[in-house]
Structure 1
């Protein structure tokens, strides 16, 4: 199994600051994102989608084109399927948020469905976010705003290194969430026993590329 990291661009808000593309083994995009990648001088290895908004004849011959016409799932979910089939285990995602917020929620839903098959980390112009492991350690984020969002509930959460600590407490999307907390230590621990939790790390100046 290839453990190298994939860089994936979706057709959301165009990122202001980009990662070093050379650290990735493959650059992937959905068809709508190809329009802005051309302007950013980023050339993907693979582009997938239903190609209803882009002419495939204008795509460079050395870019692999994978048609995914099935309308039963999102372009993001179909891209994740392809990434798994190619043997990758980790993907950094840009352009998943912004523009139409129903797409953003659909992307979170897809990440939830694939979180046990891929390590998925999202980056946008405002935050870095991902589904937490039951024991998650964050290093080097002193002073950063950190939000804990249950998806849709998370039980017995205990934190260390946050201004407003939790001790065996529950969060629920419909009743209690954990937004706008703050790291008061470089070493932040977050643990829980049941459910699912999304961690948002709010950017100060630029996206945080996690190791």
Structure 2
């Protein structure tokens, strides 16, 4: 069966309405993007930064812009049972987008930060997403994975659900076939090689702090 394609240029950046990035790593992703998708309030921040969104998605309750302004395409998604970021993930999936980088997911309201990270976990099996903040790269994994690191890089792992078994090798504090809960049980670890192995029966968030 032929794989369906989208017409968007990669790399694709999604910007949520959290704190707009200032660190060189996330701003480098932004400056090298070829398609920028904003949840509605994030569009204002992007325009203030000096860039124009290609697509704006949401119920438009957080933006001062009108759909005649700036953005090339406006997608109205008024469902109040889902956040603008959930609507954006679903729009990307429905339009055959396979990989995104998410900026602006953290900072500002703490409830939104936690909700955005749970959204990452919710959709991670349907779309590849890296969250890039001013402090770290955050990914969601399950099953068996090798993850690239820098020696001495700070690494934290937080379960999003009860994990029956998790094994980690290549970090300062290894874990073998351990049960963990959503908690602080596996935070503040450190890379001792240029990659580490993780095998988990459930979804976990991996935080890879920027080395510089």
Q: TM-score, normalised by structure 1?
A: 0.88
1:201 maps to which residue? 208
SS at match of 2:116: helix
The C-alpha deviation readout for 1:144-191, integer Å capped at 9, x for no partner, is 1000101122232111110001111121125x6200000011121111
The separation in 2 between residues aligned to 1:57 and 1:46, in whole angstroms, is 10
The alpha-carbon distance between structure 1 residues 21 and 98, as it changes in their structure 2 partners (threshold 3 A), is closer
SS at match of 1:87: coil
| Residue segments in structure 2 that go unaligned for 5+ positions in a row | none
1:59 maps to which residue? 69
SS at match of 1:148: strand
The separation in 2 between residues aligned to 1:133 and 1:196, in whole angstroms, is 5
1:31 maps to which residue? 40
Moved more, 18-27 or 30-39: 18-27
The alpha-carbon distance between structure 1 residues 14 and 87, as it changes in their structure 2 partners (threshold 3 A), is same
- Between Structure 1 and Structure 2, how many residues are aligned? 202
The separation in 1 between residues aligned to 2:67 and 2:73, in whole angstroms, is 12
2:134 pairs with one of 115, 122, 125: 125
2:193 maps to which residue? 185
Are 1:2 and 1:89, in contact at CA under 8 Å, matched by a contact in 2? Answer: no
Are 1:5 and 1:26, in contact at CA under 8 Å, matched by a contact in 2? Answer: yes
1:85 pairs with one of 89, 94, 102: 94
| Residue segments in structure 1 that go unaligned for 5+ positions in a row | 206-211
Map residues 38-49 of structure 1 onto 2, 5 A cutoff.
38-49=47-58
The separation in 2 between residues aligned to 1:148 and 1:159, in whole angstroms, is 10
2:13 maps to which residue? 7
The separation in 2 between residues aligned to 1:119 and 1:135, in whole angstroms, is 16
The separation in 2 between residues aligned to 1:140 and 1:130, in whole angstroms, is 13
Q: State the shift of 1:43 in Å.
A: 1.6
